[in-house]
């Protein structure tokens, strides 16, 4: 009887124990699932970075990117038509006045120079011959004047003798009158020859001036053609660095093409683009910090363009003379223009993605352990490129997440793992 009763009790216990265990297991699983579902989402610590709110001086500045630019750029043009035979430099090469840039050729120009030289040589020979002929003409005029004077003097002596003898009746009045007329004609002839001789220097001077004018015209033409042929070798007129070469070997060029551009590397400025909102605060004379490669240089705003292009304004920042040494145009530069310094205010590093127009911001503030972060709305004041002023919502010593947490913006709490 005892054995049967014991077996019956064991079977009854087993029948109630199994369901109880199943209920407990299911309840535990449900509780675990509910607990996991209600836990805040987690984010890896290596995906975020933080900043600490502090009382400090706020440097309000504007950040802008751009490039180094030479204020003086010279275009080198070709003076004549021709074909590019050789390019002697490449962009980036340094040049001095007289350095060969591009070598050209022009058969038509060289033929014109040869023809002009032949014409000049011919004109020189004609000029020499003209001088010799002029001297011969002068001698002829002298001889004719002397002959006329001799004939006049001789005839005049005859007239005087006839007049003396005419008183004695040797010569008649008609013969004496005929001789007097002859003397007068010879006198006029002598005067004419003397006048021709006197005017000869003026005539010779006019001829020489005309000949020399023709020679000068031909000389100038030869010199101009020689200069044009020499200009087929295009050279730099100022020191600097070649910025660009705009031609290729074998290319046919017409006169006036800008074959190269040379920049003066000793006069560089940082030309940056500032957003139109920030540009209203930028003025000439403001100090700036320039990040060029691994180096940081001090600068000063020297020019602000009055017009807006593509929602930005061009600003030129001058470098010091020492800072400009060793730099070249087109280097990337990041400028930070100092607008003002705010003494003893609540500041924190600028979070990623913050708009310049924002007045409020949702951030996640870390708890002291750093394992959790809770969402918080803060009120913003003045902004800089690297810092923001906190008006309300945080206190000194608070740490906030600076990384972009847009995808968790609707979560009240985040876990940091």
Question: Any idea which of 54-63, 149-158, 164-173, 255-264 has the lowest mean pLDDT?
Answer: 164-173
Residue 47's pLDDT is 80
Q: How far apart are CA 166 and CA 309, in angstroms?
A: 117
* Prediction pTM value: 0.54
pLDDT at residue 179 above 80?
no
pLDDT at residue 239 above 60?
yes
Percent over 70 (pLDDT), the chain = 87
Residue 1's pLDDT is 46
Q: How far apart are CA 134 and CA 127, in angstroms?
A: 10
pLDDT in tens, 336-352: 888 888 888 888 888 88
Contacts (Cβ under 8 Å, ≥6 apart) of 266? 324
Mean pLDDT, all residues of the chain: 81
Contacts (Cβ under 8 Å, ≥6 apart) of 311? 275, 276
Which of 371, 374, 376, 366 has its CA nearest to residue 397? 366
Q: How far apart are CA 394 and CA 401, in angstroms?
A: 13
pLDDT in tens, 13-54: 555 565 666 666 666 555 554 444 456 787 877 788 888 888
Which of 250, 291, 252 has its CA nearest to residue 270? 291
Map residue 133 onto helix, strand or coil.
helix
């Amino acid at each position: 009887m005892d054995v049967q009763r014991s077996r019956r009790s064991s079977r009854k216990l087993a029948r109630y124990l199994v369901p109880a265990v199943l209920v407990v297991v299911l309840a535990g699983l449900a509780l675990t699932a509910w607990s996991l579902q209600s836990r805040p989402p987690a984010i890896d610590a290596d995906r975020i970075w933080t900043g600490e709110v502090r009382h400090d001086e706020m440097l309000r500045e504007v950040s802008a990117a751009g490039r180094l630019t030479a204020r003086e750029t010279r275009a080198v043009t070709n003076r004549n038509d021709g074909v590019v035979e050789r390019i002697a430099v490449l962009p980036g090469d340094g040049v001095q006045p007289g350095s060969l840039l591009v070598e050209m050729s022009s058969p038509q120009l060289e033929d014109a120079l040869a023809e002009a030289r032949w014409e000049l040589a011919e004109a020189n020979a004609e000029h020499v011959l003209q001088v010799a002929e002029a001297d011969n003409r002068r001698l002829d005029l002298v001889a004719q004047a002397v002959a006329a004077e001799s004939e006049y003097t001789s005839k005049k002596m005859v007239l005087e003798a006839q007049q003396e003898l005419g008183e004695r009746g040797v010569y008649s009045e008609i013969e004496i009158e005929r001789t007097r007329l002859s003397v007068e004609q010879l006198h006029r002839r002598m005067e004419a020859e003397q006048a021709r001789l006197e005017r000869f220097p003026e005539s010779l001077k006019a001829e020489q001036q005309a000949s020399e004018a023709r020679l000068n015209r031909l000389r100038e033409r030869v010199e101009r053609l020689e200069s044009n042929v020499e200009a087929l070798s295009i050279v730099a007129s100022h020191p600097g660095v070649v910025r660009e070469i705009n031609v290729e070997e074998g290319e046919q060029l017409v006169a006036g093409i800008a074959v190269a551009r040379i920049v003066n590397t000793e006069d560089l400025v940082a030309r940056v683009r500032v957003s139109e909102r920030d540009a209203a605060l930028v003025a000439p004379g403001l100090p700036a910090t320039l990040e060029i490669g691994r180096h940081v240089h001090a600068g000063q705003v020297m020019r602000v363009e009055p017009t807006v292009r593509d929602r930005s304004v061009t600003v030129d920042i001058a470098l010091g003379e020492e800072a400009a040494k060793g730099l070249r145009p087109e280097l990337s530069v990041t400028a930070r223009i100092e607008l003002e310094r705010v003494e003893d205010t609540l500041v924190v590093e600028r979070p990623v993605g913050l708009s310049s127009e924002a007045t409020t911001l949702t951030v996640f503030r870390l708890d002291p352990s750093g394992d959790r972060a809770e969402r918080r709305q803060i009120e913003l004041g003045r902004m800089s490129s690297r810092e923001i002023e906190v008006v309300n919502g945080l206190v000194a010593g608070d740490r906030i997440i600076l990384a972009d947490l847009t995808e968790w913006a609707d979560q009240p709490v985040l876990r940091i793992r």
